[in-house]
Structure 1
């Protein structure tokens, strides 16, 4: 039996359905890893309508024709998490914290489970992950590509403390959990205790888990199991700069050539196009190929696809910003931040942007939208864009050679 856990509210169920379908579609029916093989898909949620529950039942029935599986829903109460900080992924609800209670939710007889974020896509026979030996470790994890700055500030005994993270910082979207060790080290309670003391936290559940699962209890796994697609924009590896992606360039390149689980930062249901992989293919196309084959939910997903425009606006704004910083045109940068009248034009008349810089333009466009939302000034946008372009030129193509 393979127990796989997701967190999803009503709006995210259809995306979780695509991930579940990708797992089933990539399971080799001619291979057997153990007796009585079956997937148990556990969805942790705050509320799921009866209509959606019925659709999940039909999805289960359809997928069972390919490989045995069951879909189970576990409704949680946000009130149980009201003393947790509201930040990052937890800005609108506490759903992201539900994973802390995995050991309490799942049957006590279950020894191992795999937690996956719903914005992922499986490209491998996921049963291979369950053959990994976790003896003595709390979780199998993959590194996070972001910088490792101090992220948690908390008060204890009326004194302020800051927790500093290092190269061992992992991405919590993928967790292969040894439930015996999870319980033994009381991870659920430790996360709750630290959360109640926090007055600043950046990455919510991810920071709390990194604070409580110490490096000696982590099993570092190949980056291909949690291949964050933003690293196709650029990745800074540990042999190039300290406290970035905790893999060498060679290790990263190997994962980039054959990723096993894609982790989407730029969601395919918002971006029809973002980055190209090492084979030159739009990475978001992989997700939509499975979405089209996802039973029960495919029609509404394809209807949604027809109206997606975010990538057009982001890339157009970024393309304009790219031209502006090359000519030090601060007036143009200011106009991009403060004048939104041209946004509609960008949506109606998409600019032709080469694939090799499309992802860069999307990220530059995001910096404009962030500046609008947070009232950032022209010079700060310029500096951020210059740094982004510099890193892109230095690191983006190293794995493509």
Structure 2
């Protein structure tokens, strides 16, 4: 029996359906053992009757390929009143729902796998459940970003700063040993810490990293939670401190055969972004499954026709790239403040070469963020300089 957990609000149900479909499609039906079955658990604050009926039909269709059951668990944000609104949980408490697994599993279930809904399975996921956790609390994958994050909280009237190190992991993939999880009282420890925090950025991820110490983690290969932006460029631990906690050699091996893709630029918004080791647009992998996802595929394909976010981001990013290299601060100011000319950038993006399309998307996202957050053009310029420098230095190494 394989218990796999997702978190999804009403709008993310269709994307979770794609992930579920990818899991079933990549299961080797010829190697099925007796009594094997997938239990897909969806944690949500609300699921409409329409989506419930769709999920039931999805379940019945996929069950013909491999035994499976989709179970919906409705939770209440009021149960997470002690958890701060910040970062990924700035508007909804859904990211924290995975911190209450004891509410959905009985003591007979020893292991579960948590996956973010913006993932795609590329392997027979049953093999992950065969990995021996050796009495560790969880199997985890190192996070791609900088490890300079911190949590600030108050304890005994004193302000305390908890700083993270190279062991910082991404909570989008967690193979959880439920016995050890409960034994170490992880859920209560997370809630206790959350109630004391006055600064926290990555919501549940920061809490889990603070509570699950390195000696209780089993570090998995990066391929199990392959962040797709790494196909653009990545900085490994043998190149710089506080970066991806894998060597360049380890990363290159993972990049040739990623088992689970974790999308930063969501495929339903970005039809094109980065290119994998075989020079295939990684978002095409997702859409190939989406087009064949039972029940939900029509809705997904209808939305696909309206999507041009990737072109807007890439077009803006290309202009920011050129402006940064020419030290044209006025142009950067213009990109942030003037939004009525965006249609021209969408058109220009269609001509961008594949080898820089990804970095243009990253730069374009910086422009859109600056617009929404009222960032000044100097901060965008310096951020752009950093992105361009890292891209030039590390992009080719990712193809080695």
TM-score bucket (shorter structure): over 0.9
Mapped to 2, the partners of 1:243 and 1:330 lie a distance apart of: 31
Distance 1:349 1:396, change over 3 A: closer
Instruction: Specify the alignment match of 1:273 in structure 2.
Output: 272
Aligned-pair distance for 1:347?
3.4
Is 1:26 paired with 2:26?
yes
Secondary structure of the 1:30 match is helix
Task: Report the Cα distance in structure 1 between the residues aligned to 2:337 and 2:242, rounded to whole angstroms.
Answer: 35
**2:23–2:121: 8 Å Cα contact kept in structure 1?**
yes
Q: TM-score, structure 1 length as denominator?
A: 0.98
2:6 corresponding residue in structure 1:
6
Instruction: Show the counterpart of 1:174.
Output: 173
Distance in structure 2 (CA, Å) of the matches to 1:348 and 1:382: 24
Structure 1 residue 349: Cα displacement: 5.6
Greater CA drift, 328-337 or 281-290: 328-337
Structure 2 equivalent of residue 119 of structure 1: 118
Shift of 1:88: 1.4
TM-score computed with the length of structure 2 as normaliser: 0.98
Question: How far apart, in 1, do the equivalents of 2:120 and 2:285 lie?
Answer: 8
Number of the residue aligned with 1:140: 139
5+ residue gaps, structure 2, are none
Task: Check whether the contact 1:150–1:162 (CA below 8 A) recurs between aligned residues.
Answer: no
Q: Is 1:151–1:201's contact at 8 Å kept on the other side of the alignment?
A: yes
Q: Could you tell me how far 1:65 is from its partner in structure 2?
A: 1.1
Does the CA contact (< 8 Å) of 2:2 and 2:112 recur in 1?
yes
Q: Secondary structure at the match of 1:18?
A: helix
Partner of 2:314: 315
Distance 1:293 1:380 in 2: 43
The alpha-carbon deviation at position 350 of structure 1 amounts to: 4.0
In 2, distance between residues paired with 1:280 and 1:114? 30
What is the deviation of 1:151? 2.0
Uncovered stretches (5+) of structure 1, i.e. residues with no partner: none
- The separation in 2 between residues aligned to 1:189 and 1:71, in whole angstroms, is 27
1:269-295 CA distance string (max 9 Å, x none): 110011011111100000000000100
- State the match for 1:17 in structure 2: 17
Q: Determine if contact 1:145/1:245 at 8 Å carries over to the other structure.
A: yes
Deviation at 1:150, TM superposition (A): 3.3
Cα root mean square deviation, aligned? 1.0
Q: Distance in 2 between the 1:350 and 1:218 partners?
A: 43
Q: Deviations over 1:118-176 (max 9, x none)?
A: 00000000000000001210000000010011321001111101111001000000000
Q: Which residue of 2 aligns with 1:241?
A: 240
* Whole-angstrom CA distance in 2 between matches of 1:124 and 1:44: 23
